Amino acid sequence: MNTYPLISTTFIRREIHALEEMDVQVERFAVRAWAEELVDPRDIEERDKTTYLLTGNMIGLLAAFIKELVVNPRGLFRGLRTAHRLWRTAGGGLVRHAAYLLEAISLRQRMDAANLEHVHVHFGTNATTVAMLARDIGGATYSFTAHGPDEFVEPFRSSYDLKIRDAAFVAAISNFCRVQLARIAGMGCWDKIEIVPCALDLRDFPNQPDGTQRNQQLVCIGRLCPQKAQTLFPDAIEPLSDVFPDLKIVLVGDGETRPELEAKIASKGLDKHFELLGWCSNEEVRKRLSGARAMLLPSFAEGLPVSIMEAFALRKPVISTYIAGIPELVDSSCGWIVPAGDVPALTAAIRDCLTRDEELKTMGEVGRSRIEARHDIQRSAALLRDAFRRYGKGSSRRG
């Protein structure tokens, strides 16, 4: 990972733990540590298990470069050549690409010392660049999981096509994601792109018969940012505030649009209809979802949100938007799905959710069954483990 652990990587932690339960040896590497406070005890434990290539390691990076120059000059030359190609394609960023090369050297040496056979990366951005450079220098094969949407913005400037072609395989979290990867790298890579969904450990989400609430509380989980579009909430619920006096939107998360959202809530006099909690532990998130009527996520850009999976696992209908992989999981049988940015449609969906008591239980059951069938961590981890066995053959460059 570029940064691990952080508040939004619970699904990666679950994946690691599930692989370890299958007797796959996993070592954690990240470029840097997260600068903000971790609130979940299990994330704090993960931080202590993670090796950081950049954070607090500048002298180590320089020492690793000198060692590589002495013991592996040909491999270092290959890495320099690839780094130069990446720099030219990106149109700049010399210092950044030099850092990627130093991090790749450190990663290669650390993996070699630990006798690790394959490196898997989450997100096809700079961490995958490091893994690709490490392979070119003489390290092990690599693969990565692509999520979107940010990865698919200007993909050719980040040499995304090269990363896909050089990878042993690529895991896509949805059909939509797989199509984007094939569009970038060409259909010749289609067979190496495998769908490995993000998933939940259903042991954390007991199979209770009915978690439906009849209150007027809706929960939104996610970073407060333009992509999640939480600033539309005041406009969407203003027409409903008199009809549903107990309507409340609970937001779990924090981010750059919080001041704008708070100002908009205050200007419309809707303070009693909102509760902004900031970041919460996984246990608190489940508690908030369990006590809500439904989940609300009006995003403009997504991959396939794990928060939707969590809501369905707790038998909560979801109100979301027609973007990316979301329609592969959400439809009218388990929630409401509206065009992104369509505030009147969002208002109508919220109103419908608040008035359809009898259907909520059935919607919740459909959502739960979809998670059990498609997004169980044991199934997803097994798909990844099997891909490691098929494609992760160790170094193709050594010697």
**pLDDT digits over 45-90, tens only?**
999 999 999 999 999 999 999 999 999 999 999 999 999 999 999 9
Terminal alpha carbon distance of the chain: 28
Residue 395: per-residue pLDDT? 46
Q: CA–CA separation, 272 vs 390, rounded Å?
A: 55
Residue 393: per-residue pLDDT? 62
Q: How far apart, in Å, are the Cα atoms of 131 and each of 2, 17, 108, 395?
A: 11, 22, 8, 12
Q: CA–CA separation, 300 vs 18, rounded Å?
A: 31
- Helix, strand or coil, per DSSP, at residue 120: strand
Q: β-strands 318-321, 335-338: how paired?
A: parallel
Virtual torsion, Cα 321, 324, 325, 331, nearest 10 deg: 30
pTM of the predicted model, to two decimals?
Answer: 0.92
Residue 46: per-residue pLDDT? 96
Closest CA to 305 of 228, 191, 382, 203: 228
Domains and CATH numbers, the chain: 10-199+378-391 (3.40.50), 202-375 (3.40.50.2000)
Query: Angle at CA 251, nearest 5°, toward 245 and 255?
Result: 140
Q: Judging by beta carbons within 10 Å of its beta carbon (0-12, 13-18, 19+), is residue 88 exposed, middle or buried?
A: exposed
Residue 399: per-residue pLDDT? 30
Residue 210: per-residue pLDDT? 61
Q: CA–CA separation, 311 vs 396, rounded Å?
A: 43
Residue 207: per-residue pLDDT? 77
Q: What is the DSSP string of 309-351?
A: HHHHHTT--EEEES-TTGGGT--TTTEEEE-TT-HHHHHHHHH
Parts of the chain with a pLDDT under 50: 395-399
What is the number of alpha carbons within 13 Å of residue 151 lying toward its C-beta?
Answer: 28
Q: β-strands 50-52, 28-30: how paired?
A: parallel
Residue 209: per-residue pLDDT? 65
- Residue-averaged pLDDT of the chain: 94
